[in-house]
Structure 1
């Protein structure tokens, strides 16, 4: 099991640095420790407590066999979030949030099917016989779909939860999740409204190191949930085999 994140780890990653005081959202007041040089500093004890709650809850979601959609379209978050999502085989959206990705999931599924049919076509012998211009058109369409939908290509149904970096920036995704009663786990900086999400994690959502440490902590919780799910399935299978054997013995 990976090392549990401590106060000093968050401090070293600069998780406590908030925005300029004039840019704050008053609803973040309970999570602010103090003001220094015109900048709000986040109370890292509150961050640790919120992170623990979020990790326990998200582990439960994954243990039940459902997916968590990672959402982070800001430049400094894209890479680390996509990497963690890929490692865990979870869906992610890091290019841009496609309006209706959740609320109009039926249409999104159609686009995913289209991408899949293009893939089949490109592997088919008939594709090689196409004119150069036709091939180029198909390739460009595939690239366009991949850029926006590549991270959710394996998503066959709505996710059970969202992990979001920057609740303020990703407000459209959060609004869609709310409409569908999908819980949101989000990094909230001092300029965000923490009440828009079910599991706010007060943290600096602009610095790479801060984003990385929180994303990896959530990733670790998801990983633990996946391990526990596998164990649950293995235990259930073993129990079933034992019961079948017991029944066979009784019949004999």
Structure 2
């Protein structure tokens, strides 16, 4: 696939390169999931030019050959990282990604942020850790019946505090120290997470749609980052890599 943008209004991606797409199950699966569908031309980030195949009906089409190549590198990196017992923080706060990221975090036992990125999550990690400790202390006190000594009004205040802390920090309970890498579904939506990771020199793995700046990620993955089918397919591959890494970390050393 070429790097130059051209009008695909009368030509489908399928009949441009049928051998490369349909002789490759992985690329065909990506296409079926809509991974190749970018944004309109007017929203393009110029730095995404090398990863764009063309334009169809004013919508830019991502080069799936580039996606496959870069995705393979990212998956291998995450698998190797987790295989060494390292931690990847999963970030996806947009509604389309929230449930998917939470499911992956639960299955892989990785920390996650699926609601709102709290400023300082990485750059002020000690304070965030203390907030998580407060949440867990309150939960233990409630579970042990310790709230019974408070008035009804005081119990309401404490329960509200638990709910607020859970909403903000529940997914970070497994993050006992700084993560070894951060995966971000949408680097435009979660730009603060990316900025903090870069400031702390933590590698960033990210889907990069046609409106993204791929240079903000150490492992950019050209991909639709808005549509649920595309996110689910690509995130499912990431889940598999994390689980493989987890299994490798638990395997007996020879």
TM beyond 0.5: yes
Q: Which one of 183, 187, 191 corresponds to residue 167 of structure 1? A: 187
Q: What's the CA shift for 1:235? A: 2.1
Task: Provide the rounded CA distance (Å) in 2 between the counterparts of 1:220 and 1:126.
Answer: 42
Out of 167, 187, 191, which is 1:147 matched to?
Answer: 167
2: CA distance between counterparts of 1:116 and 1:36? 52
User: Is the contact made by 1:5 and 1:217 (CA closer than 8 Å) also made in structure 2?
Assistant: no
Q: Is 1:205 aligned with 2:236?
A: no
Q: Distance in 2 between matches of 1:80 and 1:224?
A: 19
Q: Secondary structure, in 3 states, of the residue corresponding to 1:167?
A: coil
CA distance in 1, matches of 2:189, 2:217: 13
In structure 1, the residue matched to 2:142 is: 122
Does 2:101 match 1:77? Answer: no
Q: How far apart, CA to CA, are the structure 2 residues paired with 1:5 and 1:230?
A: 31
* Residue correspondence of structure 1 range 1-252 to structure 2 within 5 A: 6-231=26-251, 234-235=252-253
Aligned partner of residue 235 in structure 1, secondary structure: coil
Count of matched residue positions in the alignment of Structure 1 and Structure 2:
231
Q: Identify unmatched segments of 5+ residues in structure 2.
A: 1-23
Q: SS of 2:38's equivalent?
A: strand
Bigger fraction of residues in helix: 1
Note if contact 1:189-1:205 (Cα within 8 Å) is conserved in structure 2. yes
Q: CA deviation at 1:205?
A: 0.5
Measured in 1, the distance between the counterparts of 2:248 and 2:61 equals 36
**Structure 1 residue 5: Cα displacement:** 6.7
Which structure has the bigger radius of gyration?
A: 1
SS at match of 1:223: helix
Divergent runs of 4+, >3 A:
none
Question: What TM-score, normalized by structure 2, do the two folds share?
Answer: 0.89
The corresponding residue for 1:242 is none
Offset of residue 126 of structure 1: 3.3
Structure 1: runs of 5 or more not aligned: 237-252
Shift of 1:194: 0.3
Q: CA deviation at 1:116?
A: 1.1
